[in-house]
Chain A
Amino acid sequence: MNGYSSILPLMAIMLPFLAAFIIALTGNKALGLKRVLAVIFTFIPLLAVILLFKPIIENGHIVSYWLGNWVPEKTWAIGIGLEIDAFGLFCGLIITLTCFLSSIFSIRYMEKDNGLEKYYTMFMLLTASMIGFVFTGDLFNMYVMLEIMTFAAIGLTAFRNHKYKSIEAGFKYIVIGSLGSSLILLGTVLIYAQAHTLNIAQISAILHGNYNAVTIFALALMLTGYAVKAFLVPCHTWPADAHMSAPSSISMLLSGVMSKTGIFGIIRILYMIYRSKCVAAPSMEFLMIFWGTITMLIGASMAIIQTDFKRLLAFSSVSQIGYVIVGFGVGLSAKTSVAVTGTMGGLYHMLNHAMFKSLAFLCAGAVLYRTGTTDTTKLGGLAKKMPYTTVLFMISLASIAGMPPFNGFVSKWLIYQSTFEAGYWPVTIIALLVSVMTLAYFIKLAQSVFFGKIHKEHENIKEIPWSMRVPMIVLAAVCIFAGTFWNVISDKLIEPAAYAIYNIQGYIDVMFNKGYAQNMFNHEIPIPKMTRAMAGYWSPINWLLLFVVLIIGFIVIASLLSKGNKKESIIDLSDTKYDTFTGGEKEYFSHMAGNDLFWGLKHQFRGYFKTLKNAHSGIVNDYVLWVAACAAVVTIYLFAVL
Chain B
Amino acid sequence: MKSNKKSYKSSPSTNKKSKNIKVNDVIITSCANVVLPIAIILGAYVIMHGHLSPGGGFQGGVLIAGAVAILYVAYGSDGVRKLFNITRLKASESMGALGFIFIASLGLIYGVGGYRFFANTISKGTPGTLFSSGTIFWMNFAVGYKVLTGIGALILIMVSSLNSNKE
- List residues of A whose CB falls within 8 A of some B CB: 7, 10, 14, 17-18, 21-22, 24-25, 27-28, 65-69
Contact = CB atoms under 8 A, between A and B. Distances in A.
Contacts of B101: 14, 17-18, 21
B116 A68 contact: yes
Contacts of B93: 24
Contact of B116 (A24, A27, A28, A66): A66
A25 B91 contact: yes
B131 interface: no
Nearest to A67: B118
Contacts of A10: 117
A400 to B, nearest CB: 40
B115 A69 contact: yes
Contact of A18 (B98, B117, B120): B98
7 contacts: A17-B101, A24-B91, A25-B98, A65-B117, A67-B118, A68-B120, A69-B114
B117 A14 contact: yes
Most chain B CB inside 10 Å of its own CB: which residue of A17, A18, A22, A69 = A69
Contacts of B119: 68-69
Given A17-B101, A28-B87, A68-B120, 15 more contacts: A10-B117, A18-B101, A22-B94, A22-B98, A24-B90, A24-B91, A24-B93, A24-B94, A25-B91, A27-B91, A65-B116, A66-B116, A67-B116, A67-B117, A69-B107
Interface string B13-57: 000000000000000000000000000000000000000000000
A239 B71 CA distance: 40
A382 B14 CA distance: 56
Nearest to B101: A18
B142 to A, nearest CB: 12
Q: Which secondary structure dominates where chain B touches chain A?
A: helix
B68 to A, nearest CB: 20
Interface of B: 87, 90-91, 93-95, 97-98, 101, 105, 107-108, 114-120
A10 B111 CA distance: 14
Contacts of B120: 68
B94 A21 contact: yes
A126 to B, nearest CB: 16
A68 B108 CA distance: 10
Nearest to B90: A24
Contacts of A67: 116-118
Contacts of A27: 87, 91
A68 B90 contact: no
A17 B97 CA distance: 10
A114 to B, nearest CB: 14
B95 A68 contact: no
Nearest to A71: B116
Contacts of A28: 87
Most chain A CB inside 10 Å of its own CB: which residue of B94, B115, B120 = B94
Contacts of B87: 27-28
B94 A68 contact: no
Most chain A CB inside 10 Å of its own CB: which residue of B93, B95, B108, B118 = B118
B147 to A, nearest CB: 15
A170 to B, nearest CB: 15
